[in-house]
């Protein structure tokens, strides 16, 4: 990596603003956004209920008086009810897991797509990517925001993009070797899977041309970072985002690796106590809440990310003045991220409840085999099914596994257990056993 790449800032005008100038810009953008969303039925209702007139917002401090937006709001307004522009102005749609069978839908105007590419270009530049790089994208192309987000960001920089998409690890490795990628884009766990497979093939992952990794979409530790860096011989950087807010491009690390800079000229961050909803003082750990202040198609006000983190306002050596968020430290809800796919236990419950013979008692066991996450759904079935002949039981399991795959977009192994086998909780049912948390 050249020293030029180390210090490069994609948009110095916005990434290195003095805080008073940044806050002026934020307030102006917030006020404009509130005006734009006030005709969206959900916000019209929320503002009326809270007795809020967007014109009464005169300072950034007033933000804490505005109502929150949640995934539930998106579910209730499925699919396009939260959009603030007519469909003719929406040029792209993406989505993410919802808490039930219906996903969360987001839209982008042409300007939103343009802005999104710039936001991604910002964190890719911060990680040292330049127009000299060849960027291998191993996120799945589709409704998930990961692949398209990074794709257009890398093109914006002028890098060469290899839109490999997900899966087929052996082919990925061949392309990585032959096409000479210098930057790898995927989840951190997939980076390890690649390293494992290359080693199993008797080769050294460090002999690839890779120099930098841009990893995100799921939580990962500093230990995992060290392992990836060591085994692949690269600099591994973290980037964060969520589809409701834009996708990747909400925040990303610079090469100082001291937290991810949140692009505050686009997103207003707050940290709240997830129980009380109260805003916490700077530096405290709590749930990240984000407000879109630039987006046209679906600007969300005080969106509860459910991700737990801490914000740091002290200056960073890279020159960016933007606040940094720490690696996430868990969630304030029960969402699981399995192989990079977001899964809510309620999605699984919904499927099980629709299958005749399944009892309303189940448990999810999440584990890791080598570098790969696994999910087992243990479900109680009535005696007829449990004591049925093997062949019939097998086809019952197949049927449930297929239904689950359709709903959650992930293969889960189904294990049938006899009635009353799952321990009954006295308080809240313990639906999830996550053995990955070592």
Which residue's entry shows tokens 């530096």?
Answer: 283
C-beta of 182 vs 239, nearer to ligand DLL? 239
Q: Which residues contact ligand DLL by CB under 6 A?
A: 96, 144-146, 216-219, 238-243, 247-248, 305, 307, 328, 337, 342
Query: CB of 145: closest distance to ligand DLL in angstroms?
Result: 5
Q: How far is the CB of 87 from ligand DLL (least distance, A)?
A: 22
Of the two residues 166 and 247, which places its CB atom closer to ligand DLL in the complex? 247
Comparison of 181 and 214: residue with beta carbon closer to ligand DLL: 214
Shortest distance (Å) from residue 53 CB to ligand DLL: 31
Residues of 50-63 as b/e, b for ≥16 C-beta within 10 angstroms?
eebebeebeeeebb
Which is closer to ligand DLL, CB of 162 or CB of 416?
162
When the beta carbons of 186 and 381 are compared against ligand DLL, the nearer one is 186
Distance, CA of 279 to CA of 289 (rounded, Å):
9
Calculate the alpha carbon distances from 18 to 15, 24, 120, 236, 355 in Å: 9, 10, 22, 29, 58
Listed residue (30, 114, 13) closest to 290, CA to CA: 30
At its nearest, how many Å lie between ligand DLL and the CB of residue 139?
6
Nearest to 69 by CA among 331, 310, 299: 299
CB of 97 to ligand DLL, least distance (A): 7
- Which CB sits closer to ligand DLL, 40 or 343? 343
Residue 363's φ and ψ, nearest 5 degrees, are -145, 140
Minimum distance, C-beta of residue 240 to ligand DLL, in the bound complex (Å): 4
CB closer to ligand DLL out of 27 and 183: 183
Angle at 404 between CA 401 and CA 407, to 5 degrees: 155
Residue 340 to residue 217: CA distance in whole angstroms: 6
Residue pair 127/236 in contact by the 8 Å Cβ criterion: no
Which of 93/417 has CB closer to ligand DLL?
93
Nearer to ligand DLL, 107 or 241 (CB): 241
Closest residue to ligand DLL: CB criterion: 216
Smallest distance, ligand DLL to C-beta of residue 294, A = 18
Asked whether 268 and 262 are in contact (CB, 8 A), the reply is no
Considering only CA atoms, which of 137, 148, 78 is closest in space to residue 113? 148
**Least Å from the CB of residue 344 to ligand DLL:** 12
Nearer to ligand DLL, 54 or 216 (CB): 216
- Cβ at position 106, least distance to ligand DLL in Å: 9
Q: Considering the complex, what minimum distance in angstroms separates the CB of residue 246 from ligand DLL?
A: 9
């Amino acid at each position: 990596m050249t020293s030029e790449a180390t210090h490069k800032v994609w948009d110095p005008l916005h990434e290195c603003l003095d805080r008073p100038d940044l806050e002026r810009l934020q307030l102006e953008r917030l006020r404009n956004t509130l005006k734009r969303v006030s005709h969206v039925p959900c916000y019209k209702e929320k503002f009326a209920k809270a007795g809020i007139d967007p014109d009464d917002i005169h300072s950034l401090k007033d933000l804490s008086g505005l109502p929150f937006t949640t995934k539930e709001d998106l579910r209730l307004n499925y699919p396009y009810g939260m959009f603030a522009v007519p469909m003719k102005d929406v040029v792209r749609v993406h989505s993410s897991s919802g808490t039930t069978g219906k996903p969360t839908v987001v839209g982008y105007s042409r300007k939103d797509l343009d802005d999104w590419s710039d936001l991604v270009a910002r964190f890719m530049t911060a990680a040292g990517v330049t127009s000299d790089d060849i960027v291998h994208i191993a996120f799945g192309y589709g409704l998930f925001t990961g692949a398209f987000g990074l794709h257009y960001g890398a093109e914006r920089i002028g890098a060469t993009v290899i839109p490999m998409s997900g899966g087929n690890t052996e082919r990925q490795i061949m392309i990585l070797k032959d096409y000479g990628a210098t930057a790898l884009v995927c989840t951190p766990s997939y980076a390890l899977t690649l390293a494992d497979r290359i080693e199993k093939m008797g080769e050294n992952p460090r002999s690839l041309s890779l120099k930098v990794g841009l990893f995100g979409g799921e939580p990962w530790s500093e230990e995992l970072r060290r392992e990836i860096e060591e085994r692949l011989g690269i600099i591994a950087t973290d980037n964060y985002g969520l589809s409701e807010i834009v996708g990747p491009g909400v925040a990303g690390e610079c090469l100082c690796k001291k937290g991810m800079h949140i692009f505050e000229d686009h997103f207003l961050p707050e940290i709240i106590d997830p129980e009380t909803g109260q805003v916490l003082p700077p530096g405290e750990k709590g749930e990240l809440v984000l407000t879109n202040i630039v987006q046209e198609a679906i600007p969300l006000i005080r969106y509860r990310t459910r991700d737990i983190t801490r914000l740091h306002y002290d200056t960073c050596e890279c020159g960016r003045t933007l606040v940094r968020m720490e690696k996430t430290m868990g969630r304030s809800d029960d969402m699981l991220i399995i192989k990079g796919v977001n899964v809510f236990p309620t999605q699984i419950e919904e499927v099980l409840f629709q299958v005749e013979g399944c009892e309303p008692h189940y448990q999810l066991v999440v584990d890791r085999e080598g570098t790969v996450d696994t999910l087992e759904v243990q479900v109680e079935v009535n005696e007829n099914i449990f004591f049925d002949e093997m062949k019939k039981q097998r086809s019952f399991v197949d049927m449930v596994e297929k239904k689950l795959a359709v709903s959650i977009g992930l293969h889960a192994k189904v294990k049938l257990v006899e009635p009353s086998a799952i321990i009954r909780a006295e308080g809240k049912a313990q639906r999830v056993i996550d053995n990955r948390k070592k």
